[in-house]
Homo-oligomer: A and B are copies of this chain.
Amino acid sequence: MQLTLHADYAFRILIYLGSQPDGHVVSTEEISQSYGISKNHLVRVVQTLNQHGYVEVFPGRSGGIALARPANRIRLGDVVRAAETNLKVVECFDETTNTCPIVPVCQLKPILGEALNAFLAVLDKYTLADLLGSRHRNGLVKLLALSGARK
């Protein structure tokens, strides 16, 4: 049970942008180099984050991306709901593709649904700002700069 890379990268992008000075525009190239992850994949995640109003995209050679709202208005549970491409904990969560024959009477699905809601409810208690306390922010900036410089 693992988040897809799409959701994982969504968090990484938001953390990167949140650790910058307010409104600072960053290229996806820079983020890709700092984390050592595929720029092509990153661009698709940026599209998702843009569609859901989390990042603003500035086109052009000197363009890039920035947070589209304050970090304390980005709930982590909502990021998962927006960016996780697969929240079907087991096959029967998708009725169109389910093949399990016992689904009409099986009690597992509602229990797994309750567990998934509990997972998201914990994430809803936190915002991006909780990941960016001053101590952590300084550490993030240093580690990301170091990592980017090494590429």
Chain A interface (Cβ within 8 Å of chain B)?
1-4, 7-8, 11-12, 15, 34-36, 76, 80, 84, 86-91, 99-102, 104-108, 111-112, 114-116, 118-123, 126, 130-131, 133, 135-136, 139-140, 143-144, 146-147
Main secondary structure of the interface of A (DSSP, over half): helix
Q: List 14 A-B contacts (CB under 8 A).
A: A1-B80, A1-B87, A1-B89, A8-B91, A11-B108, A12-B102, A101-B147, A102-B144, A105-B140, A106-B131, A106-B136, A107-B131, A111-B131, A115-B118
If A101-B146, A147-B101 touch, whether A115 touches B119 (CB-CB below 8 Å) is: yes
Q: Which residue from chain B places its CB closest to the CB of A92 in the assembled complex?
A: B8
> Is the Cβ of B101 less than 8 Å from the Cβ of A144?
yes
* Chain B proximity of A94: nearest CB distance (Å): 10
CA distance A147 to B89 in the complex (A): 23
Contacts of A146 in B (CB 8 A): 101
CB distance A3 to B1 under 8 Å?
yes
CB pair A114–B122 under 8 Å, yes or no, is yes
Q: A1-B84, A86-B1 are in contact. Are A143 and B111 (CB under 8 A)?
A: no
Which chain B residue lies CB-closest to A99? B36
Give chain B nearest CB distance to A22 CB in angstroms: 20
- Known contacts A101-B143, A106-B140, A107-B130, then 18 further A-B pairs from the complex at CB < 8 Å, ordered by chain A residue: A1-B7, A1-B86, A1-B119, A2-B88, A2-B89, A15-B106, A15-B108, A34-B101, A101-B146, A102-B147, A104-B143, A105-B140, A107-B136, A111-B122, A111-B130, A112-B123, A114-B122, A118-B119
